[in-house]
Amino acid sequence: MGVLARNNVKVKGQGARPMLFSHGFGCDQNMWRFVAPEFERDYRTVLFDHVGAGGSEIAAYDRAKYSTLDGYADDVLEVCHALDLQQGVFVGHSVSAMVGVLAAIREPERFDRLVLVGPSPCYINDEGYVGGFSREDIEQLLESLDDNYLGWSSTMAPVIMGNPDRAELGEELTNSFCRTDPEIAKHFARVTFLSDHRAELPRVKTPSLVLQCSHDVIASEAVGEYVFRNLPTAELVLMKATGHCPNLSAPAETVAAMKAYLGT
C-alpha cells in the first residue's frame, strides 16, 4: 500500500512552496475546504486524511502504531518524503497541531512555518498549568464515549463547534464524528486527551503562528497563551471566531490571519 493512497492525499495549487493541511479528531480533509483553496494560487496545497478518517485506508490502522501521536507524526513525514516536501508550511488543527510539532522537531527541514489552530499540548490541569480539564473530567468523557459513541458525538460535537446560533455547523461536525469508525475514534480520543507534549514545545525550531479562538471549550485562551509562551519563536493571534473550529465557522478570518503571518 502506497503512502499517498493510505492517507488519501490530494495535491492542488500552482505554487512551488508546499502547504500541508492536517485535520483534527473526528474530522477529515474536507474540514479545510473553505481555507485551502485560498492558498492554491501561491502554494502547492497538500491535503490528507489521518489513517482511520475520511478516505484513508482503514486496513492500515494499527493500534500499536497509533497509541501515541508519534504514529501520526510518522505518517506526516512519510507523506513529506513521498512528495519531496521541503521548507513548507504545516497547518494543523486541534490535535494535529501537536502532530505537526512532533514532525517539525524530528525533521525541521520539512517546514519553515507552523500554523497551529486551536492547539493544546495537554488537556489535563497540572500544578501551574491550566489545561481546561481535571483528570476526572477526561476519564468521564472517555467513559461516555466508550459507552455510546454516537450519542456522545451528537451531544459533544455542537459544544465543541460552539456557535449555537449556527446549528448547521454543529450538525456538520456531528456527522463527521459519526462517519468515523467508532473503535478507531475511541482509541484516537484516548490518545488525544491523555497526551502531554508540553516538554516538546521549547524544542521547536520552526517559527509558529498560534491561532486562538474565543470561548473555545477544548483549548482555552490560557492554553493558547501557554503554547505561545513556550514556543521559542511564535506569534499569537486571538481571533474573534468562537468555538474550536474556525476553519469551518470563520474561514475568512482564518485565511486573513494566515496570510498576514505568511506575508502572502
Positions annotated as catalytic residues are 94, 216, 244
Backbone angles phi, psi at 168, to 5 degrees: -65, -30
Quick one: residue 87, left, alpha or beta (phi over 0 = left, psi -120 to 50 = alpha)? left
What residue type is assigned to position 136 of the chain?
E
Task: Give the distance between the most distant pair of CA atoms in the chain.
Answer: 48
3-state secondary structure the chain: CCHHHHCCCEEECCCCEEEEEECCCCCCHHHHCCCHHHHCCCEEEEECCCCCCCCCCHHHCCCCHHHCHHHHHHHHHHHHHHHCCCCEEEEEECHHHHHHHHHHHHCHHHEEEEEEECCCCECECECCECCCECHHHHHHHHHHHHHCHHHHHHHHHHHHHCCCCCHHHHHHHHHHHHHCCHHHHHHHHHHHHCCECHHHHHHCCCCEEEEEEECCCCCCHHHHHHHHHHCCCEEEEEEEEECCCHHHHCHHHHHHHHHHHHCC
Cell numbers placing 71: 504514529
